[in-house]
Structure 1
Amino acid sequence: MSDRERTSPKDWATLGEFNGFLAENGEIDYLDAIFVDMCGTVRGKRFPSEEADKVFTAGVQMPQSLYFFDVTGVNEDVLGMGFSDGDPDAQAHPVSGSIVPVPWASMKQAQVLMTMVDGEGEPLMLEPRNVLANVVARLADIGLKATVACEFEFYVLDKDMDRKGRPQPPINPATGIRETANEVYGITELDGFMGLLKEIDEAAASQGVPASGATAEFAPGQYEINLKHEDDVIRAGDHAVMLRHLIGTIARKHNFLASFMAKPFVDQTGNGMHVHCSLMDEKGRNIFDDGSDEGAPRLRHAIGGLQATLGDAMAIFAPNLNSYRRFGPNLFVPVNRAWGYNNRSV
């Protein structure tokens, strides 16, 4: 056995947990066993109710390649995985605490998050969630625990492209007029889309996703929704993925598209995802905060580490060509390794 922390049955949802969910929420027509790939796309398999029990008693066999599809769902046979190796299956098990209703579905549905193990029963390290769990374990080894919160910026778009095949801002349901204003933090800009935003808020609450406030951002049809801080980093990651997923799904239900693309419009501000992070010691003290305005030396050490590894990290922070269209002056986007206090441009 390796030094990686082995996923144990106590981390897996049981049939008893599923039956408890049904007792509280009522019978369902379908259960979605869902997986999240490296691009944050939710994939999976839908089981009719009469087959749902086996997800919790026997698990599910799925191709491990589903974790490294590209954003279009194509398997690029990366490192010979997918086509060259015959696309082998791996065993997946439901994650305890992740059974939730699917309130936007047309039928009575539930979903459960799945996690994969390799042939030795250890966490499959192609799965992003398992990679994060390994990082959490390494922090715990040195007596530290992270607290994080994510913020998502996104565009609400018209479901139809313009005459040149380009995305376009939505028509405001309240006015019947296409959005054109750049009214950052405008309340009126929220009013017209409150049907959509309210359903997003209700769906998040139904799924236990701790969404917080919504704001209008710097472009027509652009919004931001925040998540509350959580000291369970893995669960925070689950919630971030599910918030992004439900925003997109409910937008389609309202005949809009939601785009988290870095730069949907060349002449408008881009989308970002902000991650707030603190590190706590074993007594629950923030190691970055020593009471001074400058913060503790370990804060500056952490910033220095981020600066030193920034080149490699760009594969995550800016994973495609469109990401680089977002970088430029006067856009609240960092363009170098500089850092400053309370400064959105660095």
Structure 2
Amino acid sequence: MSPAVRFVNCCRHFGSIRAVDGVTLDIAEGEFFAMLGPSGSGKTTCLRLIAGFEQPDEGHIEIFGETAEGVPPYKRNVNTVFQDYALFPHMTVGENVAYGLRIKGVPLADREAKAKAALSMVKLGGYEGRRPAQLSGGQRQRVALARALVNNPKVLLLDEPLGALDLKLREQMQEELKALQKQLGITFVFVTHDQGEALSMADRVAVFNDGKIVQVGEPADVYERPLSRFVADFVGSSNVLSPAFASGHGGAAKWTSLRPEKVCVFPLGAKVGEGQSHADGEIKLISYQGAVTRFSVASGDMRITAEVPATETSFEPGNKVRLIWPKSAMVTMEDGA
């Protein structure tokens, strides 16, 4: 079976800038796929290549087995939800949602019925007569989503759609989007720079940097087994241990990732169990962060971060402590740069 979307050695250049640089990728039908990376990493350009807003300078793109190069956006069975919603302020909510159907020549009664059903799907039933200015940011985002879904696309593209929402609403919309994707069973391709969104929502994640995919896999795999220092640092936070430090503390003589939540803080001299590693050091900083307390500890020439559940602690900056972690938490990386 053909993948929903296939990139084969795709490149897109803007002058001397290689915005997309040799991307090869398959996105499966019915998958919630996240493209994650910092600004300028190439993820949004890849989304625009799928949508047809950009064309590749090199390489090949397929959508459900059909060549996409040269096919205009309106002839592709995809729809895009943008961060800024792109709603028409002079139209009602119902007219906004039905706009694509109107362009396709769908009769009025049919498009009104389909728009009403799409709005019910995103929990905005009864909002058809309102104007976008009368809605909250979260409601406008739902209207944009309904407008995309009303066309029954085989692939839904989401370009940082939650970026303008406050934290509470963003978390709520994450849950709703994931549930909606499971309900509809269509392919979602979601672009974000927020690693929390990607990890919590996606079936698989591609991490982008400098126009290339540097790692792709299931969220837990990308988080727990980063292949490079960039992935370790960008997807969450990580202690990147030098080859010398790692080999001296029970690991291999390679660049190594150690996640802060794997590290526990004990008084100096605490017993180290079988299968554990440890390092002694001095607390330089303690930071309370709600659910966790974050310790920054100097051990030799390394600064190691530990995150422990936020409970009352007798430790203070300047205290000598012992850090203990499972040896299995030390993950060697292909690239320490």
Alignment TM-score > 0.5, same fold: no
Give the TM-score normalised by the residue count of structure 2: 0.25
Relative contact order, CA 8 A, sep 6+: which one is greater? Answer: 2
Q: Which of 1 and 2 has greater Rg?
A: 2
Give the TM-score normalised by the residue count of structure 1: 0.25
